[in-house]
Structure 1
């Protein structure tokens, strides 16, 4: 395994076995995650994604599973809400669930990432100010009642806005960028570290998959605004391809995260990013001893590491086996 490939894949996959299409019971999902933590490929594995409302289901594993190795790391999925009021009320319930979870597990589990969908009400408001104002209230609640250290990722359902999708996307990302600047002013936030954008790359229905143009626009906006990007759904496989069962072209994680790495390294346009997103030829994605390359674009080990640490964070996958099997098929593992 080359160092550039190792850096590219380092903690890239958040395990989402509780969610479709796998939708495993909690017992099986957490046990599988525990086994993956001990596997030779554990370096690719990041957090276990769990809804805040289901954290109590993990209590039976405190005296057994959770005593093995390093503390178990969790990314918590918040309740959200259709309105701003529902969103903030859901946040209070989420924070209470996280507080109880951390107290019960006494250092054997961490919950330092919170993922939540922005309410449609905020997305319908013009400009970035509505998002920024909502997130200021979010920040106050998180700083008051949140875990000791937490980063938040906000999903915006921009693809459902038809012809207005680009305006909604840019307003959401710009609002998160303004929010990050707000967090950095005055040093009044000690718990809440940063905010990022969560890009949904698929789902149980074909219409839940963003087009290559939409995915590229999201990556471009995040790089331009210096907003960390996390992805979810539809990225089980390395390279873009047509999935007969789902009847849709699925995005590849080498495409999405390779595009993000190269966009950061070369200041690529959205159109150039889209070319990488659309590529279905696995042979164009190359890892050498010194770099990652797509066609004539290269990113050095340092550029890969910097992009992964700051902007191209991770993606949620209900399978850890499928990505590994495909990477072995490509002779990358």
Structure 2
């Protein structure tokens, strides 16, 4: 595989949302914050996206932000506390109270950029999804100190792909309603979050499930991000779990080709399943996969639709890129 700074940076720029406090790393918050501050100063900082912090721990982060995060401000992905299906806005209101207090204390050193929440398992069907999305996003609009998009995690594994597809359709309609009512200054489209791995084999969705999820978001015009299990660039076998794990290069290349070239789910799946590094190449101004070509401008446009992936490690993904000769 050959490297191209332009194509690679278009595909993976600010793609890694650092989630060091989450499993399997489970670092103390101060250590994770210090890691993030160090990563910002290193040559691979262009890969680094948001700092991921639970809403319940923002009070711990505030004094660290003042010490560790000089300008420019650090973008935060705030992970919501678990919410009940019946009244999700109650948990959201508490989290946003913590977010407002953090925003005042951090004095611009770190700013909320995403609010991520898991849809309760009891919610299903497009009508229920729409009701839930409206309730949560309305609460976020009312309580956030700044306009902030909400990303919803919907299930995981191969059995939930139909539910994910329903959620994409429902969220597209809610986004349309909000765009018409909120106006351009406060409107931020809601997105979906797909889980690509975890700590047990059943946490790893199939290639078909991920390809259908990408296609569903593309077709609905809904932005998305990914999380978990994406520590290495290419698809590979996890010997410790005896399961095939997804690669973040596969995922981002598949999403870029899906958005820009209109690939069907089967073709998206072929890119997700690719394990041969020689199948990918990067020219100065384009990404290639088995003869298909995507220019830098198309990649950059597609990246506005798929934001990032959460990872409890920053070192493992960049080391994987080094091993492939990309950085």
TM-score (norm 1): 0.94
Determine helix, strand or coil for the equivalent of 2:308: strand
Indicate if the aligned counterparts of 1:82 and 1:120 stay in contact, CA closer than 8 A: no
CA distance in 2 between partners of 1:276 and 1:17 (Å) = 28
Number of residue equivalences: 324
Of structures 1 and 2, the one with the larger relative CO (CA 8 A, separation 6+) is 2
* CA RMSD, Structure 1 to Structure 2 (Å): 1.5
2:85 matches 1:83: yes
Aligned residue for 1:103?
104
CA distance in 2 between partners of 1:191 and 1:55 (Å) = 23
Aligned residue for 1:135?
133
Could you report, residue by residue, the CA deviation over 1:297-332 in whole angstroms, capped at 9, with x for unpaired residues? 2111111000012x1210001111111111111111
Aligned residue for 2:55?
52
CA distance in 2 between partners of 1:61 and 1:140 (Å) = 30
Aligned residue for 1:146?
144
CA distance in 2 between partners of 1:99 and 1:190 (Å) = 20
Determine helix, strand or coil for the equivalent of 2:197: coil
CA distance in 2 between partners of 1:211 and 1:253 (Å) = 14
Aligned residue for 1:25?
28
Structure 2: any 5+ residue segments left out of the alignment?
none
CA distance in 2 between partners of 1:94 and 1:188 (Å) = 25
Runs of 4+ in 1 over 3 A off after TM superposition: 187-192
CA distance in 2 between partners of 1:33 and 1:112 (Å) = 16
The CA deviation at 1:190 is 4.6
The 3 A distance-change label for structure 1 pair 233 and 286 is same
Indicate if the aligned counterparts of 2:156 and 2:195 stay in contact, CA closer than 8 A: no
1:181 corresponds, among 176, 184, 191, to 176
Structure 1: any 5+ residue segments left out of the alignment?
none
Indicate if the aligned counterparts of 1:142 and 1:191 stay in contact, CA closer than 8 A: no
CA distance in 1 between partners of 2:161 and 2:54 (Å) = 29
Aligned residue for 1:157?
155
Indicate if the aligned counterparts of 2:156 and 2:203 stay in contact, CA closer than 8 A: no
Could you report, residue by residue, the CA deviation over 1:117-165 in whole angstroms, capped at 9, with x for unpaired residues? 0112222xx3x121112211222212211131201110000537x3xx3
Indicate if the aligned counterparts of 1:15 and 1:45 stay in contact, CA closer than 8 A: yes
Matches within 5 A, 1:120-269: 120-123=121-124, 126=125, 128-159=126-157, 162=159, 165-188=160-183, 190-269=185-264
Aligned residue for 1:13?
16
